[in-house]
Amino acid sequence: MPVASPKVRFRDAQIEMAHGAGGKASRRLIEGLFAPILFGASTEPLGDAAHLMVNGAPIAITADSFVVSPLRFPGGSIGELAVNGTVNDLAVSGARAEALVVTYVLEAGLPTEVLEAEVRAMAKAASVAGVIVAGGDTKVVEHGKADKMYITTAGVGRPIPGVRITARSARPGDVILLSGPIGDHGITILLARGELDLEADLCSDTRAVIGLVEALAAAAAPGLRWMRDPTRGGVATALNEFARDCDLGVFVQEDRLPIHDAVRGACELLGLDPMHIANEGQFLAVVAKEFAEAAVEALQRTPGGDAACIIGEVREQPAGSVLSSTPYGGTRIVDMLVGDPLPRIC
């Protein structure tokens, strides 16, 4: 049942940080400006990667840019993110990444050792993810015109046989799976910036999830409806996009969300919702109910999937929205993030 997505016009006078934060503002920019001009003919909801036929062969293609401060943080660095991010975008679109190309935008004055460390981090991450880096380009801008370095990776991949990812295939009764604990990456970065003077033993969760996705596909491909990696904007934003794209309701049981203590502590302290915090090594999947058990078992058997779990289900209502329930029977609507998550005191 195709759903006419509401027309969003992009009326903002200038680009703000929020347009890159993955929430409502980002969506407005994409749907209100990029999509109508660049790919106006498509009626498919926007996915993480495009699946095309080239000379009769199916391929998946995607690109992602990486801007992070600090460049290195506990558990990872910009180089590792740049590989894993693109590999994961392909993976959750139902494809295994085969090759990446990379472009660097470097700020004049960047120490070579900083660059080399990131190039090595990329090589290592690529080898772990089983993808080759096939080429690239470099630009250098004047000192002060960029923040140290930005990396863009584009990836091409091979669709996983039998998997077709589209939110519109979801049906009421489908279950929602999550691959592991949420919020580690976003909170690690927030703390690593040092501005809040908070410390915790916490690491970014950056990793390639392709192994987990393949295990899930092997166990549940016929019932696998949709996947997404909840990066910027967190689980809340990814689920809202799903709910909107399939015009069904998403029901999340809040107490089932795996969250590390330190992430919970930081969120309580800063007034943030863990569901809005970015992840770099997790994904959400919607699976037909009859495949749910097999899917969870397959994920839990795969290295790095031990915390995988069912967090909720798809319902008829509230169509287009995400509802979350507390263990004691209260419910609330979970909205998309507006802009970046900002710490609050009141």
Stretch 197-236 residues interacting with other proteins (CB under 8 A): 197-202
Q: Which amino acid is at 220?
A: A
Structure tokens belonging to residue 224: 């696998």
Q: Are 339 and 275 in contact (CB under 8 A)?
A: no
- Whether residue 111 is preceded by a cis peptide bond, meaning omega within 30 degrees of 0, is no
The two beta strands, 95-107 and 132-141, are parallel
Please give the size of the binding site for other proteins, defined by CB under 8 A: 52
Task: Give the shortest CB-310-to-other proteins separation in angstroms.
Answer: 17
Stretch 25-84 residues interacting with other proteins (CB under 8 A): 25
The reply to whether 332 sits near other proteins by the rule CB under 8 A is yes
CA–CA distance from 152 to each of 67, 106, 134 (Å)?
Answer: 9, 11, 14
Q: What are phi and psi of 61, to 5 degrees?
A: -140, 140
Cβ proximity to other proteins: between 124 and 193 the closer is: 193
Look at residues 296, 62, 97 and name the one whose alpha carbon lies nearest to residue 209.
97
Q: Which member of 226, 251, 283, 291 binds other proteins (CB under 8 A)?
A: 251
- Range 120-127 contact pairs with CB under 8 angstroms and sequence separation of 24 or more: 120/79, 121/76, 121/77, 121/78, 121/79, 121/80, 122/79, 122/80, 122/82, 122/83, 122/151, 124/80, 125/79, 125/80, 125/83, 125/84, 125/208, 126/83, 126/100
The reply to whether 262 sits near other proteins by the rule CB under 8 A is yes
Cβ proximity to other proteins: between 169 and 325 the closer is: 325
Task: Give the shortest CB-256-to-other proteins separation in angstroms.
Answer: 14
Q: Which member of 72, 158, 164, 315 binds other proteins (CB under 8 A)?
A: 315
Task: Give the shortest CB-270-to-other proteins separation in angstroms.
Answer: 7
Contact region with other proteins (CB under 8 A), list: 1-9, 15-23, 129-137, 205-213: 15-23
The reply to whether 270 sits near other proteins by the rule CB under 8 A is yes
Task: Give the shortest CB-304-to-other proteins separation in angstroms.
Answer: 22
Contact region with other proteins (CB under 8 A), list: 49-57, 121-129, 133-141, 318-326: 318-326
Q: 12-46 as b/e, with b when 16 or more CB fall inside 10 Å?
A: eeeeeebbbbbbbbbbbbbbbbebeeeeeeeeebe
The span from the CA of 165 to the CA of 60, in Å, is 12
The reply to whether 161 sits near other proteins by the rule CB under 8 A is no
The DSSP call for residue 32 is: I
Cβ proximity to other proteins: between 36 and 172 the closer is: 172
Cβ proximity to other proteins: between 15 and 134 the closer is: 15
Task: Give the shortest CB-29-to-other proteins separation in angstroms.
Answer: 13
Task: Give the shortest CB-103-to-other proteins separation in angstroms.
Answer: 25
Q: Summarize as ranges the residues that interact with other proteins (CB under 8 A).
A: 14-18, 24-25, 191, 195-202, 249, 251, 260-262, 264-266, 268-271, 315-319, 321, 323, 325-333, 335, 338-339, 342-346
